[in-house]
Structure 1
Amino acid sequence: MEYTNFFGGDDLRPLIWIIDEEWSEYQTEEMILKDAFPDCEIRHSGNNYQEDLESFGKHADAILCQVYINLPGETIRQLTNCKIIAIYGGGYDRVDIEAAKAQNIAVTFVPGYCVEDVSDYAISAIYFFNKNLAFYFSAANKGPWGAQAAHQLNHRIQESTLFIIGFGRIGKTVAQKAKLMRMNVLVYDPNLGEEEEQGYGVKKVSLDEGLSAADFVTIHVKYDEHTESLISMKEFQKMKETAYVINTSRGNVIKEEDLIEAVQKKVIAGAMLDVISNEPPEGHEEIFTIPGIFVTPHVSYLSAESLLTLKQRASSNVVKLLQGKNSEDTVY
């Protein structure tokens, strides 16, 4: 799309609307936005923003929103002045991109900002499962000590096979770290070429091949209609009974009810999930109650460095687009 300076002359008073209830403060955003537009108005709403949309949000010149905020076409078509929707995150599946295009609203996201953090989470989950930490935490004060407390003995991590589904920035970084751990690394990604395969020291396989060979499966795919329920009971049944699944992509990439059944029936050993189907959850979801399934509250991306980068880039995208400039983070 083409860009123009929307605030030429003396009119430098854009209304910027932040939709979020995850951050506790917005000093970074305010510093960047006020530096570019000293007289801008910054207003905030939580997840349930509909009343504010009618009151003032529909007049916003820019929106900064959390990655799990739904912005359907119905909402976007009510925006009268909006030039940009800047998403705090590496995905944009909850924004109606086609509706934004029709309104000539740019959409930006922040790819790559948390590669180190999410890949560290995946590696941490491998160690967590391999060393039986959940069991030993619960067994430490039960009596047996030392070898007598051992529940089961696993092979060393260097003897294990990791299957990576999706070989983008995060998948590649997980592979690099796993290779340093001397793991056997298999990859499923139709876009993986022979040169890249050799360069990373991984082996490209089909989905079925990887699932059947893996001790650990980690998922790093973009969520869309092609990856929804990518992993369901049919896939779990191809896995080893001792295998674990790690998911940091999107909850709906896994068919959640099938995962619950697979773990309960010991089709697979367990799962580590940083994402679930319903986010943010209401608190009564069954997924939280299943022994062998561990859920963290969508925090794999977090570090002091990643959060600062996320806030800086999302805010800078607002400034660039409102000043008529382009951004490499623009979706279209």
Structure 2
Amino acid sequence: AAAALKPGGTVIRYGVGYDNIDLGAAGDHGLRVGYVPDYCADEVAEHTVSAALALLRKLPALDASVRSGTWAAAQTARPMKPFADTVFGFFGLGQIGRAVQQRLAGLGFRFIASDPMLSQADAAALGVRRVDTATLLGEADVLCLHAPATRETTGFFNAANLAAMQPHAIIVNSARGQLIVEDDLAEALSAGTIGGAALDVFNVEPLPADSPLRTAPNVLLTPHAAWYSDAAIDRLQGLVAEDVARALRGEGPRRPVGR
């Protein structure tokens, strides 16, 4: 497809992720690549916060217990920590991760993060303790994933690393499905070696009918919806139109992607 475009042309990704674009081929053909990483940061952050708090307070399990005829709050909810005793961990603390942390900051949580791009000064300014991944896995009560899918991060959450987490820990993924080995997560949920998961992104979308995640306990599944609000669609379309206009004027994209 890149060969069909003139050198100096522009490819615009209609959205955030650009892992479906061959940046090497685009560069070889002299094409500029742009994307729109900033149209839905607030929506993704708010979805992440909503999912995490719902699982922390065991809302899906409590709702299901009432619907099944059970009236047993403590038995259904335990274990449950107060927010002040809960550690929120971040696997990646870029734009969206920071938006999540800022929304949670007034609720009494403690924060840790593992991100090679996070400076000690930035961490201190945010009220976040910078840690290595082993500490992140071992201490987080809730672990939010906000990292791209790279050679280092793809499949990072496999059986071994999931086993390093606390048995009550919750994992929330609104970043990239490829970060998690889904069969390993489903097995950990079924075995009770991890407390719960909220997943908005998957290795294959739509989620296959035979995915073990569909029947795993304590998992909240949403159909790659974290980006959505009526305003986000308008914002995306406007920013892409702006990039089209820039390309027609011979200018580079507003947010270029490096090769």
> Normalising TM by the smaller chain, what interval?
over 0.9
**Structure 1 position 128 matched with structure 2 position 60:** no
Cα gap change, 1:280 to 1:148, in 2 (>3 Å)? closer
Give the alignment's TM-score, normalised by structure 1.
0.73
How many residue pairs match? The answer is 257
Task: Tell me whether 322-331 or 265-274 shows the greater mean CA deviation.
Answer: 322-331
Which of the residues 161, 172, 184 maps onto 2:110? 184
Q: Which deviations, in whole Å up to 9, do the C-alpha atoms of 1:274-310 show, x marking residues without a partner?
A: 0000124454433223222222110101112222111
RMSD: 1.9
Moved segments of 4+, more than 6 Å: none
Contact kept? 2:89, 2:111, Cα under 8 Å: yes
SS in 2 for 1:158: helix
1:299 paired residue number: 225
**Structure 1 position 237 matched with structure 2 position 157:** no
**Structure 1 position 170 matched with structure 2 position 96:** yes
1:223 paired residue number: 149
Contact kept? 1:187, 1:204, Cα under 8 Å: yes
**Structure 1 position 205 matched with structure 2 position 131:** yes
Which has more radius of gyration? 1
1:250 paired residue number: 176
Unaligned runs of 5+ in 1: 1-74
Equivalent runs, 1:1-332 vs 2, <5 Å: 75-77=1-3, 79-81=4-6, 83-145=9-71, 147=73, 150-152=76-78, 154-332=80-258
Cα gap change, 1:163 to 1:148, in 2 (>3 Å)? closer
SS in 2 for 1:140: helix
Cα gap change, 1:262 to 1:282, in 2 (>3 Å)? closer
Shift of 1:318: 1.7
Cα gap change, 1:289 to 1:322, in 2 (>3 Å)? farther
Shift of 1:261: 1.4
Contact kept? 2:32, 2:252, Cα under 8 Å: no
Cα gap change, 1:291 to 1:303, in 2 (>3 Å)? same
SS in 1 for 2:202: coil
Q: Which amino acid aligns with 1:297?
A: P
SS in 2 for 1:164: strand
Shift of 1:80: 4.2
d(CA) in 2 for partners of 1:216 and 1:266? 15
Unaligned runs of 5+ in 2: none
d(CA) in 1 for partners of 2:67 and 2:165? 34
- Higher helix proportion, which one? 2
Give the alignment's TM-score, normalised by structure 2.
0.92
Contact kept? 2:57, 2:77, Cα under 8 Å: no
1:41 paired residue number: none
Cα gap change, 1:94 to 1:264, in 2 (>3 Å)? same
Cα gap change, 1:97 to 1:145, in 2 (>3 Å)? same
d(CA) in 2 for partners of 1:146 and 1:272? 23
Q: Which deviations, in whole Å up to 9, do the C-alpha atoms of 1:167-224 show, x marking residues without a partner?
A: 1101111111222111000000112112101110000001110111111000000112
d(CA) in 1 for partners of 2:119 and 2:50? 28
Cα gap change, 1:327 to 1:81, in 2 (>3 Å)? closer
Cα gap change, 1:183 to 1:257, in 2 (>3 Å)? same
d(CA) in 1 for partners of 2:164 and 2:223? 28
Q: Which amino acid aligns with 1:170?
A: I
